[in-house]
Amino acid sequence: MKAAAVIAVTVCWAASAGAQPIPAAGPPIGLEELERLALQHNPTTRAAAAAVDAARGRTQQAGAWPNPIAGYSGEELKAGDLDRRGEHGFFIEQTIPLGGKLRLSRAVFETTIAQAEANQDLQRLRILSSVRQTYYRLLLSERRIEVQERLAALASEAVGVTAQLFNVGAADRPDFLESEIEARRVQLELNRAKNDAYAARLRLAALTGTPDVAARPLAGTAEAVIPELERERTVQTLLAQSPELRAARAELERTRAVTARARRETYPDLFLRGGAAHNRERGEDTGRPIGWEGTLEAGISIPVFNRNTGAIAAARADETRALAEVTRLELSLRARAADEFARYLSALRASEVYREEVLPRAEEAYRLYLARYRDMAAAYPQVLVAQRTLFEMSNEYLESLESAWEAALRLQGFLAGSGLDAPAGAADGAGEGGGER
């Protein structure tokens, strides 16, 4: 009776220490619906789309002509006594950029559209990859809860057997205390699994921007078939389709366009000014006011003092930097993919071995030792070692399964990053000019 009471107290204490689960509400939700909700409600989706719209607006503005200047003109004006002489009129002044400056400015900003679109695709991949990883992490957390509950039942069974043998004098008190310790250990692991599941649910709700998701059960299984990936094909696909690399290449094209625009900055601009004025001065022959007269002025800017050499040098330096960044990013993606693929292969192989070979043997060994201990044919340390081995192998199996899923999903998501990170911003093209006209 005393042992049974101890067991009850142990179980109640461990249960009270666990995380309170989120009550299930609503029908099960699958991965496709979660992805749809995330793309629809995640605020970074709207931010990335706004960056594309901003780049298009800047491109439109870059090709606009300078506004004309209209004004009043007067000559031979005299203050004081009324003087009928003088000219009063109006003029219109226009600067006409030459050398294709407007076209080159538009070309600079057109490259920022490609860069913003690449960043938008990158953000979409971040969101989808993060949702998928969190989805499978939650499934595995719930699977871990099931395993830990089963292990807790086995530990409780061991405590019960030890208590019975202790009551009849066939087991020592240290054996009974060890069984209690192991039972509490398993309950702590169960508590941690519940906390992990709780956190995964909240993260999934944050990624989808839908709080109700946290309370809905998931459709699917944690032990679904892990995607099979081939190393070289995966790396080649990554380098060919990575939005991160596309954005870096678009940045390189932008710097090249800025360099071309900076070189063209020294081309002169045409200045035109025309108008009409009413001349009140009387003609010598007619004795009447001369009347309306037209005026026309034209000129060009002369690049004598400012040949934009500093801006050209800066643009060429930016171009060199952007080219180095593309190379660096290619190497970085290769290195990251190699690390992720090694993790994927190791975890995938480990999960298969644990599932097919290790776990069945560990559970059989534990049950055999427990049965022999019940029959007083084995010492409790042997049972304890077998029990710990089973618990550890169960946890390692789930960890390897989670690691394999995460690595596979990261590789399929082009190593994009987190779906709650702010989207990368495209350059605003502010460096396309750089000289006085």
At 337-389, the pLDDT tens digits run: 999 999 999 999 999 999 999 999 999 998 898 888 888 777 777 888 888 88
- How many domains does the structure of the chain reveal? 1
* 21 domain residue, yes or no: no
pLDDT of residue 25: 66
The verdict on residue 331 lying in a domain is yes
Beta pairing partners, 69 = 93
**pLDDT score, position 426:** 55
Q: What's the pLDDT at 327? A: 96
Cα 390 versus chain centre, distance: 38
- The mean pLDDT of the chain is 85
Domain range for 148 is: 31-64+99-156+191-266+307-412
d(CA 308, CA 254): 19
Whether residue 16 lies inside any domain: the answer is: no
The reported pLDDT for the residue numbered 17 is 43
Q: What is the pLDDT of residue 400?
A: 94
pLDDT at 21: 54
- Is residue 52 included in any domain, yes or no? yes
Q: Dihedral sign for Cα 334, 335, 338, 341, please.
A: negative
Q: Is residue 132 part of a domain?
A: yes
Any domain includes 175: no
**What CATH number is given to the structural domain containing 400?**
1.20.1600.10
In a domain? residue 209: yes
Give the residues of the chain that fall short of pLDDT 50: 1-19, 433-437
Provide CB contacts within 8 A for 83, sequence distance 6+: none
Q: Are 339 and 224 in contact (CB under 8 A)?
A: no
> Which among 271, 267, 268 is positioned nearest to 94, based on CA atoms?
271
Per-residue b or e along 390-413, where b marks 16 or more CB atoms closer than 10 Å to that residue's CB? bbebbbebbbbbbbbbbbbbbbbb
- The answer to whether 425 and 119 have CB atoms below 8 angstroms apart is yes
Q: Outline where DSSP puts E strands in 12-96.
A: 69-75, 87-96
pLDDT of residue 80: 55
C-beta neighbour count of 140 within 10 angstroms: 24
Residue 314 lies in a domain: yes
- Cα–Cα distance between 36 and 93 in angstroms, integer? 55
Residue with tokens 């909240």, as numbered in its chain: 202
Distances (CA, A) of 360 to 146, 354, 393, 401, 414: 17, 8, 10, 16, 36
Radius of gyration of the CA atoms of the chain, in A: 38
Residues in contact with 199: Cβ distance below 8 Å, sequence separation at least 6, in sequence order:
none
Spell out the residues 6+ positions from residue 105 whose beta carbon is closer than 8 angstroms to its own: 62, 63, 261, 432, 433
Asked whether 2 and 168 are in contact (CB, 8 A), the reply is no
User: What pLDDT, on a 0 to 100 scale, did the predictor assign at position 41?
Assistant: 95
Cα 303 to Cα 266, 268, 306, 315, 437, distances in angstroms: 6, 7, 6, 19, 8
Structure tokens of 219?
A: 């459709």
414, 242 in Cβ contact below 8 A?
Answer: yes
**pLDDT for position 293:** 83
User: Distances in Å between the alpha carbon of 157 and those of 78, 170, 180, 183, 374?
Assistant: 115, 17, 11, 9, 11
